[in-house]
Amino acid sequence: MYTKQRRIDLIQTFEGLECEICGHPEVQNLIWYPHHKKIRHNLLRFGKRSEEFEDAKKLIEQSIPVCLHCREDRYYALLIGEDKDPRWPMIIIID
């Protein structure tokens, strides 16, 4: 079940954080790179006592907060083969 509260909870996982690439601080514009898709899926669909919720927490630890703007820059850099920026984690997922 996709509730409004779960969507808010997901955004609040960024509380007090900022984009690790450019420093953008607005939580609603941040995503967990590179595991956001799976984290979002798990947090929206499963309750706090589920295994999936725990998995999402582990994936958050393995991700960095980045803003949507930087995510798009990264996506483009990977497409044209210029992913030389050392601030990004080595894991590469294009989706």
- 7 in Cβ contact with 22 (< 8 Å): no
Residue in the block written with tokens 């790179």:
33
Residues forming beta bridges with residue 67, ordered by sequence position = 30
Q: Which is nearer to Zn ion, 58 or 69 (CB)?
A: 69
- 28 in Cβ contact with 11 (< 8 Å): yes
Q: Which of 10, 13, 14, 21 binds Zn ion (CB under 5 A)?
A: 21
Binding track, positions 59-78, relative to Zn ion; x by CB under 5 A: --------x--x--------
Which residues of this chain interact with Zn ion, rule CB under 5 A? Answer: 19, 21-22, 24, 67, 70
